[in-house]
Amino acid sequence: MAHKHWFTSMAQNTAKAAGSSAAFSAICILTFVWLITGPLFHWSDTWQLVINTVTNIVSMLMVFLIQNTQNRESAALQLKLDELLRAGRGAQNAFINLEDLSEMDLERIKERYAALAERARSKSGLTPGPGPATSELERQ
C-alpha cells in the first residue's frame, strides 16, 4: 500500500511539474543548447544519438505518467457521475458502473437511447438539422 501511495504522489507531483511553464522553458533552453553544440561536435552521430535517446526515454515515461493521470481523473469523474445518478430522483441507478459493460452491451444501450431521443424529437416537432441561424438565412 505504501508503494501505491508513493507512486501516486510522485506521479501527481511530476505531472504538475511537467505541465508547468518552467518545464516548457527548460526544454526549449535544452533544445537550443543542443542545437548550438551541433557545430562543436561536427553534427556527429553521437551528438544526434544523445538527443534521440533522451527524448525517447522522456517520451516513454511521459506516456505512462499521462496514462496514470488520466486513469485517476477518469475514476474520480466516474465516481462523481455515479453519485449524481444515485442521488438524482428519477435517474436510472442501472447506469452506475456502466463503464464495466462490454462494447456490445454499451452499443445496445446507446441504440435504445437514440431511439428514445428520436421519438421525443418527433413528438415535440423538433428535427435534427440546421439551427435557427441557418433557418433564418434560408428564409431570406
Residue 27 included in any domain: yes
pLDDT tens digits for 123-138?
Answer: 888 766 555 544 443 4
Question: Is residue 110 domain-shared with residue 76, that is, in the same domain?
Answer: no
Task: State the average pLDDT for the chain.
Answer: 84
Question: Is residue 105 domain-shared with residue 91, that is, in the same domain?
Answer: no
Number of domains in the chain: 2
Structural domain that includes position 91: 1-95
pLDDT tens digits for 108-124?
Answer: 988 988 898 898 889 88
Residue 132 included in any domain: no
Residue 137 included in any domain: no
Q: What angle do CA 53, 19, 79 make, to 5 degrees?
A: 115
Gap between the Cα atoms of 62 and 13, Å rounded? 13
Structural element, H or E, at residue 77: helix 45-87
Question: Is residue 3 domain-shared with residue 28, that is, in the same domain?
Answer: yes
Residue 49 included in any domain: yes
Question: Is residue 33 domain-shared with residue 86, that is, in the same domain?
Answer: yes
Residue 135 included in any domain: no
